[in-house]
Amino acid sequence: MADAPPPKESPRQKRITVPQFTAFKQAAQKITMVTAYDYPLARLVDEAGVEGVLVGDSMSMVVQGHENTLPVTLDEIIYHAEMVGRAIDRALVIVDMPFPSYHLGKHKAIENAGRILKKTRCQAVKLEGGADQAETIQALVSAGIPVMAHCGLRPQSVHQQGGYRVQRDENALLNDARAATEAGAFAVVLECVPSNIAKRITEHVEIPTIGIGAGPACDGQVLVLHDILGLTCDYVPRFVKAYADLKTEIPNAISRFRDEVRSGQFPAAEHGYK
């Protein structure tokens, strides 16, 4: 009798873990992260082979059409993170805690982050803050919830920071990244930080720094999916590089469909049934 084939490894066992993610820094392996907000695009992002997928509160702007990230709710983030969680076989999936889901005390933060992990197949949460959020990060980590911190420009504090500005206070930035590390964060996003300051922070903390507008020395880079695909309709920040032009290609495809319907070219015989 032929040997039984080995059991097929479940794709769920192949996901990158939080400790692996942290180990990329020691191995000097650059980390790539991209946002995703729904099932089909999350599958494509995962197939492209990135290490991390972020269900970002940027969805408030790029999916929901709001002017900043403040309006998106915890329930909405969870709804989208469920779709992304179902799609991902390989990458580590991190979900943004929306404003103000972690500002109402440690217990509320654990309850909200716990809901994200219980409902979504996602593995970690991200929150904006460093020294000011150290206690919350510590409480979440003690509860077994991995935390990615987000320092530098904090879009949820857009009103307090007076707009989306480059953050240049080196001591404050270093202090934030150190406090997040000491509180147990497994990685830290640095947004809109001058490259030389991001380099020094990267050299000073053991956890990976993930830059967005923070130069090439960071241990990894993150971009918003819609920006990479050239789908962003409004303002595009300087740190974005578009690798496709879907803003042009999508209307072109739809216009061609419209033209073929009007001319009778679509549907052709091969699109019908006998």
Q: Which residues are catalytic?
A: 191
Whichever of 37 and 260 has its CB closer to ligand KIV, that residue is 37
58 touches ligand KIV by CB under 6 A: yes
Task: Report, in Å, the least distance between residue 14 CB and ligand KIV.
Answer: 25
CB-hemisphere CA count at 13 Å for 239?
20
Single residue of 46, 51, 96, 176 touching ligand KIV by CB under 6 A: 96
52 touches ligand KIV by CB under 6 A: no
41 touches ligand KIV by CB under 6 A: no
Site for ligand KIV in 202-221 (CB under 6 A): 212
Number of residues this chain uses to bind ligand KIV (CB under 6 A): 11
Q: Which two tokens stand for residue 12?
A: 């769920």
Q: For 126, list phi and psi in degrees, rounded to 5.
A: -125, 140
Do you find a cis peptide bond into 71, omega within 30 degrees of 0? no
Whichever of 73 and 252 has its CB closer to ligand KIV, that residue is 73
53 touches ligand KIV by CB under 6 A: no
- Single-letter residue type at 216: P
Tell me the C-alpha distance between 125 and 171, whole Å: 26
Alpha helices in the chain (DSSP H): 18-26, 39-47, 59-62, 74-87, 106-120, 134-142, 158-161, 170-183, 195-204, 225-228, 246-263
Tell me the C-alpha distance between 222 and 211, whole Å: 6
Single residue of 189, 193, 198, 201 touching ligand KIV by CB under 6 A: 189
Please tell me what DSSP assigns to residue 157: G
35 touches ligand KIV by CB under 6 A: yes
133 touches ligand KIV by CB under 6 A: no
Q: For residue 206, what are the CA distances in angstroms to 29, 103, 118, 197, 209? A: 14, 26, 29, 16, 9
224 touches ligand KIV by CB under 6 A: yes
123 touches ligand KIV by CB under 6 A: no
Tell me the C-alpha distance between 242 and 247, whole Å: 11
Whichever of 184 and 213 has its CB closer to ligand KIV, that residue is 213
Closest CA to 154 of 98, 106, 108, 95: 98
Task: Report, in Å, the least distance between residue 54 CB and ligand KIV.
Answer: 6
Single residue of 36, 45, 56, 213 touching ligand KIV by CB under 6 A: 56
Task: Report, in Å, the least distance between residue 140 CB and ligand KIV.
Answer: 17
Segment near ligand KIV (CB under 6 A); pick from 51-59, 110-118, 138-146, 245-253: 51-59
Binding site for ligand KIV (CB under 6 A): 35, 54, 56-58, 96, 150, 189, 212, 222, 224
